[in-house]
Structure 1
Amino acid sequence: MPENTEYKRLWWHSRRGMLELDVLLVPFVEEVYRDLPADDQARYEKLLSCEDTDMFEWFMQRSRPEDPDLQRIVDMIINRVQPD
């Protein structure tokens, strides 16, 4: 039960109110998050604490996070929708 509660919390936090972020984060949390290793799950949770404007810039590839952990999870999300 606590795992389900935590997942629901993450799902709600993935809804940002900015369509460009919602279409990336909600499917990611629904389809990928549960299968991630614990380190990457922690990175995703860290990402959710960031400002929407920063995330928007990162996902639009206008800038990059300085934190390598954040860059890793941003790259994972981008690569999911834009595979090489």
Structure 2
Amino acid sequence: MTDSMNIEPTATQRRIIYQARRGLKELDFYIDPYVKLHYLQASDEEQAAFATLLNYEDPDLLLFFLGQEMPQEPEVAELINKLKELRYAKD
């Protein structure tokens, strides 16, 4: 696995990384590890799904991560499941 710290982000990637800082502890629990360890190495498709995910409001994201609702976009729903798996694999 390539260290994300060695990859120089593009301007778009820097904007997405900044946008990922939600400030809601419950969301940061899932989003921060992904951004720090996986985002820069992700495929273009996954990075696009992550950008779409970040367009949702925090209350919606919380419902997605709690499994009470799912987004309409299948690629975003798949990414949410990945973020949850990554988070729980770490514990």
What's the TM-score bracket when you normalise by the shorter of the two chains?
0.7 to 0.9
Q: Which residue does 2:43 correspond to in 1?
A: 37
For 2:57 and 2:30, how far apart are their aligned partners in 1?
15
Kept after mapping to 2: 8 A contact 1:64/1:71: yes
Q: Which amino acid aligns with 2:19?
A: H
Q: Percent same amino acid among aligned pairs?
A: 26
For 1:63 and 1:2, how far apart are their aligned partners in 2?
32
TM-score, with structure 2 as normaliser? 0.78
Runs of 5+ unmatched residues, structure 2: 1-7
Q: Which amino acid aligns with 1:75?
A: N
Matched, 1:52 2:35: no
Ranked by relative contact order (alpha carbons within 8 Å, sequence separation 6 or more), the top structure is 2
Q: Runs in 1 of length 4+ with deviation above 4 angstroms? A: none
* Structure 1 residues 2 and 36, CA gap change in structure 2 (3 angstroms): closer
For 2:9 and 2:16, how far apart are their aligned partners in 1?
12
Q: Which residue does 1:69 correspond to in 2?
A: 75
Runs of 5+ unmatched residues, structure 1: none
Kept after mapping to 1: 8 A contact 2:21/2:32: yes
